[in-house]
Structure 1
């Protein structure tokens, strides 16, 4: 069973490498930014996301127009990045070490994708194994989400979500979340006086 999963994962890595072929030169510096290899990388991430959301806020377009504009920008970036990377860096600049890093990036993406998919599947398997727990979790999460989204601006919520998603790999890589959890566990326990 483990061999089948490993073979499937290798197939996924190969497919992803072919899919991201044009982006391979750009992915190596992006990896260092996402994992905060320099002190200023978190500031660059927050600054870029803040600037993009400031533009969205200032333009004050309807939701449909905003989605269309974001889609246009993503298509433009998807078109222009491979063209620029291939014109600036020829095939001779691509070394074996860079290929190894590119494969490591693709493998990491596949592993995280599969983990997320397995967590979603295990959550939905609760529907068959423990329907009461499934509906309690689902309804409470959806009610909480509805309450938060009715209380706070949608653009601000998307800004927070985008920032956290882009900072999360660096937080995990640096061990900040684990250090925070260990601080919580080391905190003195309050004794109730009766």
Structure 2
């Protein structure tokens, strides 16, 4: 059983490598941006996301048109990035070190995908093992989401979510989240005088 999981994971890595073959030259610098290898990368991420959402806010399109424009933009990027990368960089510029980094990126994608899938499955398994806990968690989460969506502008919520998702790999890589949790746990507890 234990041999099956790494073998299945290797198959997934090969599949992701084939899927991202045209993007491989673009993924290497993108990895350094997402992991904040330069100090100004977080500012660049926040700035580019802010400009994108500023354009969405200025255009003030309805939801369907926004999804259509976003889909067109993604299709354009998916077409143009491999084309530009293949034009700028020939096969001779791809080294063994680049191949290792590309395989590491693909492996990280597969690992994070499998972890997310495992967490979703374990949450839904609560329905079988502990239905009361499942319904308490799901109903409270859905009520909180409904309250947030009715209280705060949806585009602003998507903006905040986009920034968190794009900054999260750098936050994890730098250990910022762990150090914040450590500071919260180590901070002295104040005792109220009665």
TM-score range, shorter chain: over 0.9
Return the offset for 1:171. Answer: 0.1
| Equivalence for 2:28 | 28
Q: Which runs of 4+ in 1 moved over 2 A?
A: none
Aligned to 2:106: 106
Quote the Cα distance in structure 1 between the aligned partners of 2:12 and 2:61: 38
Q: How does 1:79-90 map to 2 (within 5 A)?
A: 79-90=79-90
Distance across 2 between alignment mates of 1:106 and 1:77: 19
What are the equivalent positions in structure 2 for 1:173-184 lying under 5 Å apart? Answer: 173-184=173-184
C-alpha distance in 1 between matches for 2:2 and 2:40: 41
Correspondence list, 1:37-56, <5 A: 37-56=37-56
Deviations 1:40-97, CA, capped at 9 Å, x for gaps? 0000000000000000000000000000000000000000000000000000100010
Distance 1:148 1:186 in 2: 31
1:102-141 matches, cutoff 5 A: 102-141=102-141
Which segment drifts farther, 17-26 or 179-188? Answer: 179-188
Shift in Å at residue 31 of structure 1? 0.1
CA distance in 2, matches of 1:145, 1:73: 28
Query: How many angstroms apart in 2 are the aligned matches of 1:25 and 1:68?
Result: 28
State TM-score, norm by structure 1.
0.99
C-alpha separation in 1, matches of 2:190 and 2:127: 37
Q: Give the structure 1 partner of residue 17 of structure 2.
A: 17
Hey, what does 1:193 align to over in structure 2? 193
State whether structure 2 residue 154 is matched by structure 1 residue 154.
yes
TM-score by length of 2: 0.99
